[in-house]
Structure formats: C-alpha cells, structure tokens
Structure 1
C-alpha cells in the first residue's frame, strides 16, 4: 500500500472500493434489473468510505498484504449502505448526499413507469427500498463468503461473517430501535447516558467491527479474540463516538450544500441528539421552550435555525459536546498507541481527527 497524504490516501481507498463494488456481479443477478440497479445507487453517489479505510489501514498495521482485506472492507461499506437505505425510510428523508434516497427514487420510478400516484407510488417506493436493503445485506455476506479459501482462509471468512451475524446485526439494530423509541418519549425523560449507549450501538459498533476485521484478516485469525483486535476495535469505537457527535453538530451548523441534506432536518424530525438534550438541560426557560417548540416542526425557517444555533452556542452545549469529542479522540489515540508502528498508524490517527474536523 502506497502512502501520499491523508486526503489522497482516503480518496484512493474510496476509488478502490467503489471500483470493486461497481464491478461486482451480484447486483446483476437480481431480477428485476431496476431493483439490482438500485442496490448500487448509494455507492455511485459517493461517500467518505470511512469503514473501508478503517479496515484496510488496520490490516496494514499487521500485514504486508492489506489488499487481501478488500472484500471485507467492501462488505463493511455495503453493510453500512443497507442501514442507510432503511434508516432513510425510518427517518422519512427524501435526499441523501444531495440526491434522492432509495425509497424516493423508487417511488418516482413507479410514477414514471407505471403511472402510479400518491400513496400508491410512495408505498411502492418504501416496499422496494426495504427489499433493496435486504438484498444489500446478502451482498455484504456474499462479498466475504466468496473469498473463503481465496484471499481469506475459511476460518477467517467464517469469523468475519459470524461477527457480523452474532454481534453487529443485533447491536446495531437494537441501537436503531432505541433511537426511534426516543422520538416517542418525553425528551426530558431521556438521559445523556441513554443517548451515548444508543450511539455506541448504532454507530460505533460497525466502525469497531471494520477495524477489528482488518486485523483479523491481516493476521489470518479465526476469531476476534486477540489483543491487537481489541485495541484496533477500541480505537475505532471511540473515534466513532466522536464522529457521531460531530454529525449531530453538522445537523445544525453545517453548510447545506456540503452536508448533502437539509440543515435542521434532525430538529424538524425531532431527532433526539446529545447536543439537543444538553441544550435543553443547560438553557434558560424561554430558550428551552423555543427549542422544544421547534422540535418536530414540519417547516423550520432559516431565522429559526439561526436562533436555535445561537442558543446552542451561548448556553454552552456546543462547547461541552466538542470537549467530549476531544476526549473520545484522546481515548482512541491511547488504544492506537498499543498497535504496531507503520505509515498506516499515522493514517488512522489522522482519520480520528478528520472525524471531528470534517464539515460534511
């Protein structure tokens, strides 16, 4: 693996993974063809490819042939993709990365190809997007299983799939369930500790797996029970929590064009983020009422969003979340220090800092 600079190397991994996935035959085996095409739509629409980078750079810590982890890195990306497809349905989001979400695009397909209207078209889009995500789950597993006794030993391939099936699936989906349940609870009843636990399950879990799997492949292990696997996982786990907290900040403070979705959509959807909960805890009565009234609003004006952002800043909630992010990055670096030295180690360190400095 050649190294230039962080952005170039991350972009190189993104291109490598995108090529691997877009050339892979699995979506072409799906009938009808428009459903198979939709399986690759989010891949074609770009993305940061953080999970493949974690996987490949973690493999490079312990192996001279980190490219053998390409199939597993690609599987991590597709696993992430199906969660996005289903998450967009749950959140009723119409766009992702500035383009239509799967259920929106498929509803438009029904209108154009079959003349469907209204709720019928929308229901078609939702139904087909659910199937798209289901097929992507199969694709992720296929990416690993087909490499058994090729780039991967059979024991390594089985260990990776078992970790996905027995740990990542139930933990991640449990986190999603808790996140959705939050929207049906009184926000004052939700503690910061509950939110952090949800983030650990929903976001940090798959990032942790991506780094762990890289070391498992690099060392040709048949289980995840190894000190280096543990430290790689804890590095990604803590960096992942910082990543999600930054995501919550961007949901209020980002440039909409760079973010790829409407700024303020989390507030409009009444998403219970740690940033919002801390704001409600820390702000005065009138400002608290303003934030609570804004949550779940169908339409939020730019003036209202600016006022909410100012409240979040002045009450100290933004600074508190940023300090937490720094603490998570420090914890990530402590685990990274226990991993072998290599150029990949520097890239992982830069990746942790990128997660809290990014603006998209």
Structure 2
C-alpha cells in the first residue's frame, strides 16, 4: 500500500471500494432489476468510507498484503449501507447526501412508472426500501463468503462472518431500537449515560468490528481473541464515539450543502442527542423551555435554529461535548500506541482526528 497524504489516501480507498462494489455481480442477480439497481444507489452517491479505511489500514498494521482485506472492508461498507437505508425509513428522511433516500426514490419510481398516487406510492417506497436493505445484508455476507479459500482462509472468513452475525447484529440493532424508543420517552427521564450506551451500540460497534476484522484478516486468525485485535477495536470504538458526537454537533452547526441533509433535522425529529440533553441540563429555564418547544416542531425557521445554536453555545453544552470528543480521541490514541508501527498507524491517528474536525 502506497501512502501519499491522509485525504488522498482516504479518497483512494473510497474509489477502490466503490469500484469493487459497483463491479460486483450480486445486485445484477436480483429480479426485478430496479430493485437490484437500488442496492447500489447509496454507493453511487458517495460517502466517507470510514469503515473500509479502518479495515484496510488495520490490516496494513500487521500484514504486507492488506488488499486481501478488501472484500471484508467492502462488506463492512455494505453492512453500514443497509443500516442507513432502514434508518432513513425509521427517521422519515427524504434525502441523504443531497439525494433522495431509497424509500423516497422507490416511491417516485412507483409514481412515474405505474402512476401510483399518494400514500400508496409512499407505502410501495417503504416496502421496497425494506427489501433493499434486506438484500444488502445478504450482499455483505456474500462479499465475505465468496472469498473463503481465495483471499481469505475458510476459518478466517467464518470467524469474520460469525462476529458480524453473533456480535454486531444484535448490538447495533439494539442500539437502533433504544434510539427510537428515546423519542417516545420524556426527555428529562433520559440520562447522558443511556445516550452514550446507545451510541456505543449503534455506531461504535460497527467501527470497532471494521478495525478488528482488518487485523483478523491480516494475521489470518480464526477468532477475534487476540491482543492486537482488542487494541485495534478499542481504538476504533473510542474514535467512533467521537465521530458520533461530532455528527450531533454538525446536525445543528453545519453548512447544509456540505452536510448533505437539512441542518436542524435532528431537532425537528426530536432526536435525543447528548448535545441536546446536556443543553437542557445546563441552560436557563427560559432557554430550556425554548429548546423543548422546538423539539419535534414540523418547521424550524433559520432564526429559531440560530437561537437554538446560541443557547447550546452559551449554556456550555457545546464545549462539554467537544471536551468529551477530545477525551475519546485521547483514549483511541492510547490503544493505537499498542499497535505495530507503520505508515498505516499514522493514517489511523489522522483518521481519529478527522472524525472530530470534519464538517460533513
């Protein structure tokens, strides 16, 4: 693996993974073809490809053939993609990365292709997007299984799939369930500790797996019980928490064009983020009432969003979350220090800092 600079290397991995996925035959085996085509739509719309980068750079820490982990890195990306497709349904989001979400695109397909109207078109879109996500799950597993006894030993491929099925699935989906349940609870009843636990389950778990799987593939292991696997996982786990906290900040403070979705959508959807919960704990009673009134609002004006952002800053909540992010990056670096020295190690360090400095 040749190294240039962080952004170039991350972009190169994204291009490699996208090409690998877009050339892969699995979606073309799906009938009807429009459903198979939708399986690749999020891949075509871009993305940071952090999970494949974690996997490939972690493999490069312990192997001079990190490219053997490409199928697993691609599987991690497609696994992430199906969670986005289903998450967009749950959150009722119409756009992702500035383009229609799968259920929106498929509803539009029904309208344009069959003249389906109103709620029936929307229901078609939701139903077909669920199937799209289901097929992407099968695709992720196929990406790993087809490399058994090729780029991967059969025991390594089985270990990676078992980890995905027995560990990542129940934890990640449990985190999603808790996140959705939060929206039905009184916000004052939700503790910061509960939110952090949800973030560990929903976001950090798959990032942890991506780094661990890279080391497992690089060392050709038949299980995940190895010291280097542990440290790689804990590096990604802590960096992943920092990543999600920055995501919550961007949901209020980002530039909408760079973010690729409406700024303030988390507030409008009454998403219970740590940033909001800490604001409600630290703000004055009047400011707290303003934020509470805004949560779940169908329409938030630019002026209201600007006032909410100012309350989040002035209450000290923004600074508290930023300090937490810095702590998680520091913890990530402690585990990174236990991993072998290589150019890939420097890329992983830069990746951890990118997660809290990014603006998209």
TM-score over 0.5 for the pair: yes
How far apart are the structure 2 equivalents of 1:325 and 1:126?
35
> Shift of the alpha carbon at 1:90?
0.1
How far apart are the structure 1 equivalents of 2:180 and 2:307?
26
> Shift of the alpha carbon at 1:96?
0.1
SS of the residue corresponding to residue 261 of structure 1 reads coil
> Shift of the alpha carbon at 1:144?
0.0
Alignment of 1:155-304 (within 5 A): 155-304=155-304
2:14 is matched with 14
Alignment of 1:48-67 (within 5 A): 48-67=48-67
1:336 is matched with 336
Residues 122-147 of structure 1 show CA distances to partners (whole Å, capped at 9, x for unaligned) of 00000000000000000000000000
1:32 is matched with 32
Residues 83-123 of structure 1 show CA distances to partners (whole Å, capped at 9, x for unaligned) of 00000000000000000000000000000000000000000
> Shift of the alpha carbon at 1:188?
0.2
How far apart are the structure 2 equivalents of 1:119 and 1:15?
38
How far apart are the structure 1 equivalents of 2:104 and 2:299?
19
TM-score, with structure 2 as normaliser: 1.00
How far apart are the structure 2 equivalents of 1:22 and 1:143?
12
> Shift of the alpha carbon at 1:171?
0.1
How far apart are the structure 2 equivalents of 1:230 and 1:322?
26
> Shift of the alpha carbon at 1:253?
0.1
SS of the residue corresponding to residue 338 of structure 1 reads coil
Q: Give the 4+ runs in structure 1 shifted more than 3 A.
A: none
> Shift of the alpha carbon at 1:227?
0.2
How far apart are the structure 2 equivalents of 1:114 and 1:289?
47
> Shift of the alpha carbon at 1:350?
0.0
How far apart are the structure 1 equivalents of 2:98 and 2:277?
28
How far apart are the structure 1 equivalents of 2:113 and 2:326?
50
How far apart are the structure 1 equivalents of 2:341 and 2:201?
29
TM-score, with structure 1 as normaliser: 1.00
2:123 is matched with 123
Residues 176-203 of structure 1 show CA distances to partners (whole Å, capped at 9, x for unaligned) of 0000000000000000000000000000
1:322 is matched with 322
How far apart are the structure 2 equivalents of 1:127 and 1:227?
43
2:310 is matched with 310
Gaps of 5+ in 1: none
Gaps of 5+ in 2: none
How far apart are the structure 2 equivalents of 1:302 and 1:90?
25
How far apart are the structure 2 equivalents of 1:281 and 1:189?
12
Provide the alpha-carbon RMSD of the alignment.
0.1
Residues 248-306 of structure 1 show CA distances to partners (whole Å, capped at 9, x for unaligned) of 00000000000000000000000000000000000000000000000000000000000
How far apart are the structure 2 equivalents of 1:170 and 1:119?
32
SS of the residue corresponding to residue 147 of structure 2 reads coil
How many residues are matched?
Answer: 360
SS of the residue corresponding to residue 204 of structure 2 reads helix
How far apart are the structure 2 equivalents of 1:224 and 1:31?
37
> Shift of the alpha carbon at 1:40?
0.1
> Shift of the alpha carbon at 1:340?
0.1
How far apart are the structure 2 equivalents of 1:154 and 1:128?
34
Residues 6-58 of structure 1 show CA distances to partners (whole Å, capped at 9, x for unaligned) of 00000000000000000000000000000000000000000000000000000
2:153 is matched with 153
